[in-house]
């Protein structure tokens, strides 16, 4: 396991600003993440948590600041101003480092479970079918879905779809995994099976993980560090025990009182 106390940052966000029209969604946001660290991003709806994950995934561009992934700049400044993702080749290389699982299971509906997991390695990483399938079966085993390899997404429960989505994100062997409220669209009885898979991943791999969640008890158990967001800024951060049991800031206290 990497030692989170001694390594250079895996992700470095410095003074990032993001606007949607007149709305400033991230306001001079800065934080770093060490290799192997597990981070939970919590805070009120609309505070910018999903937006920063989408930016890290280069699904959104930024208006100011710098982001480095493993020391490399994610965005550059073109001649006409603003900060945009670098050229396609660089983008491809950076994206390969990061896997993301979204709130809504976005599996390809016309492909079986196995094909959902093998597609990206075969198409974007040039992996041959046999190797892609061997690896996909290992990942489906890891998420407890190997028995459903030939099933179609429509035949699966929400929890099962989300576990396949996790296997699919892992198929490109990312160093960083981003989870955006992956259980919030699930029926309550299906939440635990997905959280169990994530607990296992956190315990058994040295991937860096960032998690946006409203499941505070899960955030407490999963994270090495919790970032509390409000209005596009980090108001408070610290180890889960400090944030959940003894928050310093009034805004954190009010939020936790409401949600727990």
Which residue lies nearer to ligand ADP by CB, 35 or 43?
43
Measured from the CB of residue 162, what is the shortest distance to ligand ADP in angstroms?
A: 18
Which residue lies nearer to ligand ADP by CB, 20 or 108?
20
Which residue lies nearer to ligand ADP by CB, 167 or 228?
228
Measured from the CB of residue 44, what is the shortest distance to ligand ADP in angstroms?
A: 7
Measured from the CB of residue 14, what is the shortest distance to ligand ADP in angstroms?
A: 19
Q: Does 213 bind ligand ADP (CB under 6 A)?
A: no
Give me the residues paired with residue 234 across strands: 229
Which residue lies nearer to ligand ADP by CB, 50 or 162?
50
Q: Which of the residues 100 through 159 are near ligand ADP (CB under 6 A)?
A: none
56-90 per-residue burial string, b: 16 or more CB within 10 A, e: under 16? bbbebebebbbbbbeeeebbeeeeeeebebbeeee
Which residue lies nearer to ligand ADP by CB, 6 or 45?
45
Q: Does 48 bind ligand ADP (CB under 6 A)?
A: yes
Cα dihedral 239→245→251→257 (10° resolution): 140
Q: What's the CA gap between 119 and 112, in Å, rounded?
A: 10
Tokens found for residue 191: 């939440």
Query: What residues contact 210, with CB distance under 8 A and at least 6 apart?
Result: 11, 33, 39, 41, 53, 56, 176, 177, 178, 179
Q: Does 25 bind ligand ADP (CB under 6 A)?
A: yes
Q: Using CB under 6 A as the criterion, which residues of the chain lie in contact with ligand ADP when the complex forms?
A: 20, 23, 25, 43, 45-51, 212
């Amino acid at each position: 396991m990497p030692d989170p106390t001694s390594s250079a940052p895996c992700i470095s966000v410095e003074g990032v600003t993001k606007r949607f029209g007149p709305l400033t969604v991230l306001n001079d946001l800065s934080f770093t993440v060490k290799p192997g660290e597990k981070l939970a991003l919590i805070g009120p709806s609309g505070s910018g948590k999903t937006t920063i994950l989408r930016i890290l995934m280069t699904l959104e561009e930024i208006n100011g600041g710098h982001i480095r992934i493993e020391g490399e700049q994610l965005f550059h400044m073109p001649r006409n101003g603003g900060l945009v993702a670098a050229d396609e080749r660089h983008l491809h290389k950076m994206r390969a480092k990061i896997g993301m699982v979204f709130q809504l299971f976005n599996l390809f509906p016309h492909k079986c479970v196995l094909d959902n997991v093998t597609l990206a390695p075969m198409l974007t990483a040039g992996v041959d079918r046999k190797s892609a399938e061997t690896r996909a079966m290992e990942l489906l085993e890891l998420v407890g879905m190997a028995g459903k390899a030939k099933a179609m997404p429509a035949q699966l429960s929400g929890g099962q779809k989300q576990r396949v989505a996790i296997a699919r994100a892992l198929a490109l062997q990312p160093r960083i995994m981003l989870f955006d409220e992956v259980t919030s669209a699930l029926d309550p009885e299906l939440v635990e099976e997905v959280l169990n898979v994530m607990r296992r991943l956190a315990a058994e791999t040295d991937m860096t993980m960032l998690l946006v969640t409203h499941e505070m008890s899960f955030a407490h158990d999963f994270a090495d560090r919790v970032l509390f967001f409000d209005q596009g800024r980090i108001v408070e951060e610290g180890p889960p025990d400090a944030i959940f049991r003894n928050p310093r800031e009034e805004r954190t206290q009010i939020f936790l009182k409401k949600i727990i």
